[in-house]
């Protein structure tokens, strides 16, 4: 089975890389861009199991996300 995990910075957490992208896009002429926040996602290929969703959340808590500053969303395809 396949799952997707989206990890984003929590609101209020400073995102300097996102700010740099805004600057870059504005500089290239895309003046309509006002803000960018960067996140990452993981496409995970895993064996099926009855508790897949709970285990995916555990993976996020333990490795994929830094829950102090990030939140995550699990999507099972």
What is the closest distance, in whole angstroms, from the C-beta atom of residue 11 to its own copies in the complex? Answer: 11
Q: Based on CB atoms, which residue is closest to its own copies, 46 or 68?
A: 46
Q: Based on CB atoms, which residue is closest to its own copies, 24 or 67?
A: 24
What is the closest distance, in whole angstroms, from the C-beta atom of residue 35 to its own copies in the complex? Answer: 4
Contact 60, 3 (CB under 8 A): no
SS3 63: helix
Binding site residues, its own copies, CB under 8 A: 6, 8, 18, 21, 24-25, 28, 30, 32-47, 49, 52, 55, 58-59, 62-64
Number of neighbouring beta carbons within 10 Å of residue 76: 13
Contact 1, 76 (CB under 8 A): yes
């Amino acid at each position: 089975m396949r799952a997707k995990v989206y990890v984003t910075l929590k609101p209020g957490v400073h995102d300097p890389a996102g700010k740099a992208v805004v600057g870059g896009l504005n500089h290239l002429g895309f003046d309509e861009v006002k803000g960018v926040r960067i996140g990452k996602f993981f496409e995970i290929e895993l064996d099926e199991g009855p508790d897949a969703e709970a285990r995916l959340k555990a993976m996020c808590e333990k490795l994929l996300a830094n829950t102090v500053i990030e939140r995550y969303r699990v999507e099972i395809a």
